Structure 1
Amino acid sequence: MPLKQLLCLMSLAASATCRCYAPNPAFPVPSWPNGASTLKAAFKDLEKQYDLAIKDPKFENTSFSIEVTSKTGTLWGYHHTASNLNPARPGDKDVSTDSLYRIASITKTFTTLAVLYQHAAGNLSLDDPVTHYISELSSPNYILPWKDITLRSLASQLSGIPREFAQSDIWNSIPDPTSIGLPPATGEGLPSCDEYNYYKPCNRSDLLDQLKTAKPVFAPNQKSTYSNLNFEILGLVLENVSGKNYSTLIHDQIFSPLNMTASSLTPPNDESHAVLPLMPEGEPNYWDVDEGVQNPTGGIYTSSADMGKYLRYILTHYNTLATGVNWFHPVSRGTGPHSFYGMPWEIFSTPDLLPHSDRPVTFVTKSGGLPGYYSHIYLLEEYGLGISIFVGGNGDVFDDVHTPVTTDLIVAAEAAVWEDIDAIYTGTYIPTKEHSHLNTTLTLSTSPAKGLHLEQFISNGTDVLSTDLFSDSTASEWHAQLLPTLLFANETSQQGEIYRVLPVLSNLPPASKRPVWEDDCVTDVDTVTYAGKAVNEVVFWHGEEGGGLVVELPAWNVSLQRVVDEGRGMVVQGVKVDL
């Protein structure tokens, strides 16, 4: 029976045809400090694009900062200073990596990280109802079903509670509601803080009082919908379990350990690199607005330099923050077919970015906005990259700012990755000295469309790719692609990269020409075994036996060494052999 058909039978959830395309991840996470030079041309191109973009008059009142980081350091940045600044309060006149912005709702990720820390320490549980930590919510005076709302629900935007309690009410902004068809309203029962009282900060009592009359948008855990209230409540939980106010807790748990020395929850003074956009007449500058009890949802001030430290930490710790939690995993669907909610991430996965592959690129993001400030962070687990964009001024420029660095750069990174993979892995492999009696060879090829794949595999004289083990009678064009598991045979020394071979269809028909279920595919990597060993397991050993690359095939009980053509000879493990 062909391996691919066997895969289908072994996975009851698979479609009848079991057609899978472009598996992900396709390569190990790149180490950009060792190959960052491959992105220099892309960065120069980005600079040209931004140099041209800022000539548009809409950038005259707008400053912005963009930075790209890898797991180990900043790779590139671009900073623009508005040509029009407020003469009475200009703020930073030369925007740089140290310039400070309000990042608004990106603060939610800091709140969630603090909750994860408290969960890992045993001070709270993500799956406890919020009533365990805020006793007032157990009162029958509250309409919302708090006993069914967990901390995980809140952090994942799955609580079903309303979005706001003291903002975004047009009663504050429209002098005559009847002009748009609304009836007159007295405002009785509305809060007396934030937008209802000249931006007086709301406190804990204000929040809890307003929650008494709040009604659900959805039942708990039914569907994610954006809510700032979720994180204001989590802020109260953090204060209760830690005994510290929110600002002190975030400083002690996150800012200080990560050396984010410029970050705070109170407004830095104007001379401390403050980005102060020139606001339209009559609009407040939100730099000085105290968020009060709403700080956990949007109160942080930071620089792109500090944000780079934060993104590097997340890129290297997202799967180790708390037992059983991968911080990059989605928890529910958004409204769009490619959009998902995380905890509290906004996740976008698109198959339309890469020019030679339908493999989706996934952006784990968080956005934020206050009047005059617009921010976005992007984490790309597969590429080991983090991007931050902070804008102070005209929000209409955001598309011009974020599109090049999140599209052109990723396409360039993809090309650079395959150049490296080709140089490291592509070639013919023959048996090592202990297996030299075997008539066995393996040839690996690389392309952006097919990834790293088996071009040929002869095992002791048998063409394995033409046997029932790998052949697929249901498709004429398929290839045996190597999928990195990101694990090592020796985890201690991080040696022995483990891959799995998967049969993959080579050509994905256009969406308009394929049946609805054509691209239904569940992940099923651990499939057929032989004598207890995975038939599709491949282990790469770098630098073994004289410095060459060795491939181990455990189920086939053979190790193969890479050979490299040099003129009329071959180099095998560093020793030239004449042909």
Structure 2
Amino acid sequence: MKQSVGACTFWVLLTLVSIVAATCHYHSPAFPAPDYGKESPELEQAFRKIESTISEVASQAKFDKSSYSIEVTSSDATLWSSFHTATEKDIERPGAEQINGSSGYRIASITKVFTVLGILKQHAAGNLSLDDTIDQYVSGLKGHQSGDLPWKDITLRSLASQLSGIPRDWAQGDLVNELKDPSVFGLPPITTSHLPKCDSYGEYVPCTEDEMLETIRAKHPLFAPNYKSTYSNIAFELLGLVLSNVTGLRYEKYIQQSILDPLGMNHTSFEKPSDEVAVLPKNISWYWDVDEGVQNPTGGLYATSSDLSKFLRYVLTHFNGITPALNWLNPVSFATSVYSYYGTPWEIFRTDKLLSGSHRPVTFVTKGGGLPGYRTIIMIVPEFELGITILTGGDTDLLDSLQEIVSVSLIQAADKLVKRQIEETRTSLYKASHINSSLELAYTEEQGLAVTKWISNGTDMLSVIPIQFQVPTPGFHLQLVPTLLYRDQKHLYGEIWRIALVLDMPASENPLTKDIPVWDDSCITDLDTMMYAGKPLNEVVFLDKAQDGSYETIELSAFRVTLTREANGQLQHDFLNTQEL
């Protein structure tokens, strides 16, 4: 028996410590997201600052031929927009007279997101599986080929996630079309008779399905499937063929009917809009007229910033409900940088340099695009429920400046808004009426919503925890982590959070090497480790939401107690029905 008890105690200790290991921080997102429907001086100030800064940038002489459209949206509505019209235009073909939310751009590779959404919808409908191989849907990949791409091992999921290992392009990006004198690069003269006769090889005549399949059957892989991520445009052209073969519709018509029309994206299409709404950069407006043919699924869409805000609102509200096969905004593989990842087909960037006074990371789920004359990007920041669209025509350097200016100031302001709203709605002293139980919550930039005092039936929990579980004191804090779930999910009642025990000891030198320990950065997430009589020991439920957004009561599930916000001066019931035990 003693051995059993000892083993159990050891297991409990390991379980608790595994909540947040060693010296790492628990990087809670800034959930729940801010209420953008209320007045926000934080955002208003940020937008004024952004507007002033980008005006200075756009006034530089090198951007005289450049235009831009920028929009910021929440999951409900557009919060801010800014537009700039180039001061230098082509006299014979100036394009849109004044840039606004309905001005059209070529959005290039942002198109890939629509292609993947089409695939996800067909997966959800049961018409295909993400884990089926591509050769099951494109018969032209079967049979003899002079190359050795392993189509029978390449799934739709790997294609959509940049993990197929297949080459980037087949009809673009060839220096033979760019260099008048190949010897400048030490390249020999060569005949082009074996190359396709379309797109950049053929005065931008649209390529056909047969031309694409004939060319890629001779290609060789960069990597084995699912081994390493590498960017491929061919992957999405193949997914476009899949959608066409599965639905019986032309790819373009399917995207129009299943995505663009339902979302009211009336100014987005694969058909070239009129010059009256077009952003046409001086000297490089020729690509506006290029028909990408079979390459449409990788970069053929024309769109406006207002339409893309509609799309981002859809993504913000549906990303985890399109299909049970995946959370659409989660990373799938590592990219080159330590802080960068590929999604499906997103480019995901995670940084802890943005929020001053805190090491909490911010995740940007993005998709960028580029074609001659155009650079574009959409960005989603899930924890703040924000979407950003930046479309540029002209100088390619402009987008980098705008992206930095808009994203940094916006997220810093949104984080200030989060803090204020959490302090107004959740931070307080909560007390029971008939027993000596209370919980005090406070908010800091580094820890988020945290427990600063906790008395349970007369026991000081912050003193008991280090004694019972061998946790150093001082050197830990109890941080609340939102789950985005509710006790009553249908009526969104009873907001559920979990308490994380976080050890906040500073990193120390390794006594042998005098170096900062490498493994201090290794952390795992485990927020459901201990129970008491069947209920989670660390579950906190916010109840009884008032009109001003504050919560009147909180429930500590395992302790079978409900505490009332002291600020309202009305003490209510303190015990749950004992039958719930």
TM-score, normalized by length of structure 2?
A: 0.92
How many Å apart are 1:177 and its aligned residue?
A: 1.2
Partner of 1:58: 62
For 1:24 and 1:573, the matched residues in 2 are separated by 31
Q: Note if contact 2:46-2:410 (Cα within 8 Å) is conserved in structure 1.
A: yes
Partner of 1:567: none
Partner of 2:264: 259
Q: How does 1:146-157 map to 2 (within 5 A)?
A: 146-157=151-162
For 1:358 and 1:5, the matched residues in 2 are separated by 32
Q: How many residues align?
A: 559
Could you tell me which of 119, 123, 130 is aligned with 1:119? 123
Kindly provide the amino acid, as one letter, of the partner of residue 405 in structure 1.
V
Partner of 2:346: 345
- State whether structure 2 residue 484 is matched by structure 1 residue 483: no
Partner of 1:554: 557
What SS does the aligned partner of 2:519 have? Answer: coil
How many Å apart are 1:19 and its aligned residue?
A: 3.0
- State whether structure 2 residue 94 is matched by structure 1 residue 90: yes
Q: Note if contact 1:21-1:508 (Cα within 8 Å) is conserved in structure 2.
A: no
Could you tell me which of 11, 23, 35 is aligned with 2:27? 23
Could you tell me which of 190, 207, 210 is aligned with 1:205? 210
Partner of 1:79: 83
Deviations 1:53-79 (A, max 9, x none): 222112210000110000000000010
For 1:46 and 1:394, the matched residues in 2 are separated by 20
Partner of 2:448: 451
Partner of 1:503: 501
Could you tell me which of 221, 224, 239 is aligned with 1:219? 224
- State whether structure 2 residue 304 is matched by structure 1 residue 309: no
For 1:4 and 1:328, the matched residues in 2 are separated by 39
Q: Note if contact 1:63-1:95 (Cα within 8 Å) is conserved in structure 2.
A: yes
Greater Cα offset, 503-512 or 234-243: 503-512
Partner of 1:275: 279
Q: How does 1:6-405 map to 2 (within 5 A)?
A: 9-10=14-15, 18-141=22-145, 142-271=147-276, 273-279=277-283, 285-405=286-406
The CA RMSD over aligned residues, in Å, is 2.4
Q: Note if contact 1:430-1:441 (Cα within 8 Å) is conserved in structure 2.
A: yes
Q: Note if contact 2:23-2:505 (Cα within 8 Å) is conserved in structure 1.
A: no
Q: Note if contact 2:19-2:502 (Cα within 8 Å) is conserved in structure 1.
A: no
* Structure 2 unmatched ranges of 5 or more: 1-5, 573-581
Deviations 1:41-63 (A, max 9, x none): 11111111122222211221000
Kindly provide the amino acid, as one letter, of the partner of residue 408 in structure 2.
T
Q: Note if contact 2:507-2:520 (Cα within 8 Å) is conserved in structure 1.
A: no
* Structure 1 unmatched ranges of 5 or more: 565-569, 575-579
How many Å apart are 1:9 and its aligned residue?
A: 2.2
- State whether structure 2 residue 465 is matched by structure 1 residue 468: yes
Q: Note if contact 1:22-1:357 (Cα within 8 Å) is conserved in structure 2.
A: no
How many Å apart are 1:477 and its aligned residue?
A: 2.2
Partner of 1:422: 423
How many Å apart are 1:507 and its aligned residue?
A: 6.1
For 1:520 and 1:404, the matched residues in 2 are separated by 32
What SS does the aligned partner of 1:248 have? Answer: helix
Kindly tell me: are residues 472 and 108 of structure 1, through their superposed partners in 2, closer, same or farther at Cα, counting changes over 3 Å? Answer: farther
How many Å apart are 1:475 and its aligned residue?
A: 6.2
For 1:188 and 1:14, the matched residues in 2 are separated by 63
For 2:275 and 2:546, the matched residues in 1 are separated by 57
What SS does the aligned partner of 2:196 have? Answer: coil
Kindly provide the amino acid, as one letter, of the partner of residue 518 in structure 2.
V
What SS does the aligned partner of 1:395 have? Answer: coil
How many Å apart are 1:509 and its aligned residue?
A: 4.6
TM-score, normalized by length of structure 1?
A: 0.92
Could you tell me which of 536, 539, 543 is aligned with 1:541? 543
For 2:321 and 2:417, the matched residues in 1 are separated by 28
How many Å apart are 1:97 and its aligned residue?
A: 0.9
Partner of 2:576: none
How many Å apart are 1:504 and its aligned residue?
A: 1.6
What SS does the aligned partner of 2:255 have? Answer: helix
Kindly tell me: are residues 4 and 509 of structure 1, through their superposed partners in 2, closer, same or farther at Cα, counting changes over 3 Å? Answer: farther
For 2:173 and 2:506, the matched residues in 1 are separated by 45
Kindly provide the amino acid, as one letter, of the partner of residue 268 in structure 1.
P
For 2:544 and 2:430, the matched residues in 1 are separated by 13
How many Å apart are 1:11 and its aligned residue?
A: 8.8
What SS does the aligned partner of 2:524 have? Answer: coil
Deviations 1:290-348 (A, max 9, x none): 00000000000011110000000000000000122100011100010010000000000
How many Å apart are 1:185 and its aligned residue?
A: 1.4
For 2:197 and 2:220, the matched residues in 1 are separated by 20
How many Å apart are 1:38 and its aligned residue?
A: 3.7
For 1:9 and 1:184, the matched residues in 2 are separated by 67
Kindly tell me: are residues 124 and 93 of structure 1, through their superposed partners in 2, closer, same or farther at Cα, counting changes over 3 Å? Answer: same
Q: Note if contact 1:487-1:497 (Cα within 8 Å) is conserved in structure 2.
A: yes
For 1:366 and 1:329, the matched residues in 2 are separated by 13
How many Å apart are 1:408 and its aligned residue?
A: 1.3
How many Å apart are 1:232 and its aligned residue?
A: 0.4
What SS does the aligned partner of 1:32 have? Answer: coil
For 1:548 and 1:290, the matched residues in 2 are separated by 56
Greater Cα offset, 304-313 or 136-145: 136-145
How many Å apart are 1:5 and its aligned residue?
A: 8.7
For 1:109 and 1:156, the matched residues in 2 are separated by 11
